Amino acid sequence: MQFTKLIFALATSTVVSSSKIPNIATKWPREERPTGHYCPPRTASALEQQIIWDDFVRLFYVEKNTTAALTQYVAEDYIQHNPLALSGRQPAIDFLEVYFSQNLTLTVAHTGLDRNLGWVHVKVETPEQPLTAIFDLYRFDGSCIVEHWDVIQELPANAINPLAFF
């Protein structure tokens, strides 16, 4: 049932430009923003998780500040399911700094949060590689992101569907 909700949410979402990703400083009133440390995890309300998620997406995907996003919102013992990267916050920072140092443009197409799962559908464009779609799924434990899965697919040269990926 949750998977069906996820697919429906993605199918009915619209492309989000980087300027429309919420900024924690302007979207949420100061008295509603979570305070203190996010990791190790502590109990967080649905509103707190939404605020944390919005800021993580902004820092990571829009500003491409992987170090700040991961240091602030990801557990040290973060579980990574990408076969090309190791688990742990520091290995993720090291891996992603190299990836994000390339000449690439990221466009957040869809994002959402339901209970303890946050997802992002991203268009990745580089001069050297074909258009790529990335779907990242993150699991929260209260205030802290503790686990990550991703699906990455390049647009084939012989693609016939004009709606492919986005």
Its pTM stands at 0.80
Distance CA 83, CA 90 (A): 16
CATH 3.40.50.2000 holds for 2-154: no
- 120: helix, strand or coil: strand
pLDDT in tens, 87-141: 999 999 999 998 888 889 999 999 999 999 999 999 999 998 889 999 999 999 9
Q: What is the pLDDT of residues 48-83, one digit of tens each?
A: 999 999 999 999 999 999 999 999 999 999 999 999
Alpha carbons 42 and 77: distance in angstroms, whole number: 15
**Domain map of the chain by residue range?**
2-154
d(CA 73, CA 95): 17
